[in-house]
Structure 1
Amino acid sequence: MGRVCGGLVGRRERILDAAFEEFATKGFRGATIKSIARAAGLRSPALIYWYFPDKEALFREVLGARIPVLRAVRDPARLLDRPPEEVLPLIAKRYLSTFDNPAAQRMARLLVGEAMRRPEIAEVFGNAVIKRILGFLKSYMAHQVELGRLRPHDVRSSARAFIGMLLPQVGGKVFFPAIREDGLTDEEHVENAVRMLLEGLRPEGK
């Protein structure tokens, strides 16, 4: 029984590894269940459907498994009570570290191009990544307001503002190397961004 379970887990991991490479090389539209099965060494593409109902579900699982920030927010309850000085740098560093992986950089370039041309792909990517990260940040900010650590404000804006502060650093890794010519490191940028955000959101007198 253990050998069978181990084999099933191993096959699932092979599928995720192969899918990540296929999506990174061909984009969401170009990667197919057939090509992913072939890359995973499966006898039949139908075996993928034992684990994932369709390509979109497989794509979501690949992102969840391979993107550090999505792994961080998978269990939000363990983070909600921690102070923003701890949680916001954690989220920011994991978000930025995603784009240190050359395959993830390739995938980002392909997905941005696809999303601009095809609204259905923008929706898939938005639901799989952006909605989950913003959803966590909104819940987290609202809870920090309840705890009195942040002043009352529209958490939709603070969540967007925080991600927006990180985007130029991502752009420097993926699209525009000139942005990084000033030598600003991820660690420096995260420290500065968190400090600036929290200075504007602290309750009066704190």
Structure 2
Amino acid sequence: MAQIGTDEVETKPSRIQLRNRRKILDAALEVFSAHGFRGATLDQIARAAGLSKPNILYYFAGKEEIHVTLLTALMDTWLAPMREIDPDGEPLEELLRYVKRKLEMSRAYPRESRLFANEILQGAPMIGEGLKADLKPLVDRTAQLIERWASEGRLKPVDGRHLIFSIWATTQHYADFDAQVQVLMSGRDVHGDAVSFLDTLYRRMLAV
């Protein structure tokens, strides 16, 4: 039996290496979401991770690689709820479920939402190709599905893309502008109020 040469064996990262990568990515998420890509530095990420700058560079080639790693993982997470919309389901309930999922993600992943928003505000230099390759075809299909449902009389007439934009705006606002929301909604159940309000808003807008 032929033996595999040592240079052909893929070495799995150790537990310490995996832990350090997670620490770096979590620290970078905090720094990038607060300062954006341009305002963030490797020194800031190193301090937040509790590691030295050379240690950071052992795992990643630089700030850009860390940023792209975070954004790539985030894109998959962000698109998952839209991919789960069932073309064979009840249209209104499928869309209301999507609204609720997006709102839940804003509560669970506020830093990720701000990271994505900062990237888009900068002109999407890191994920522009991903937007074209992954996001656009998915939005095209979803918008066409929404408009087909409307043409069948199962929803009120609506522009599918503008509806999607509106859902993004009304759900991700709670993450991207959290500091403002907390001041203006002090002492109230922000998430619970938002779930109820947005359900009513879109139900009235779309129900036939």
Q: Which TM-score band (shorter chain)?
A: 0.5 to 0.7
The SS at the match of 1:4 is coil
| Gaps in structure 1 of 5+ consecutive residues | none
Task: Say what the alpha-carbon RMSD is for the aligned residues.
Answer: 4.4
The SS at the match of 2:123 is helix
1:32 touches 1:55 (CA, 8 Å); kept in 2? no
Q: Which residue of 2 aligns with 1:18?
A: 27
Q: Which residue of 1 aligns with 2:4?
A: none
The separation in 1 between residues aligned to 2:16 and 2:36, in whole angstroms, is 28
The separation in 2 between residues aligned to 1:125 and 1:189, in whole angstroms, is 32
The separation in 1 between residues aligned to 2:51 and 2:199, in whole angstroms, is 45
Bigger radius of gyration = 2
Paired residue type of 2:101: L
1:95 partnered with 2:106: yes
CA drift at 1:71? 1.9
1:96 touches 1:170 (CA, 8 Å); kept in 2? yes
Percent identical pairs in the alignment equals 15
CA drift at 1:180? 0.7
Paired residue type of 2:168: I
The SS at the match of 1:124 is coil
| Gaps in structure 2 of 5+ consecutive residues | 1-9
Match of 1:32 among 31, 35, 41: 41
Greater helix proportion: 1
CA drift at 1:143? 2.2
1:99-124 per-residue CA deviation (whole Å, 9 max, x = no partner) reads 4xxxx39x94x998xx6xxx996223
The separation in 1 between residues aligned to 2:162 and 2:169, in whole angstroms, is 10
The number of equivalent residue pairs is 184
The separation in 2 between residues aligned to 1:32 and 1:192, in whole angstroms, is 40
The separation in 2 between residues aligned to 1:176 and 1:195, in whole angstroms, is 20
Q: Which residue of 2 aligns with 1:54?
A: 65
Change in Cα spacing, 1:59 to 1:170, as seen in structure 2 (3 Å) is closer
The TM-score with structure 1 as length reference comes to 0.60
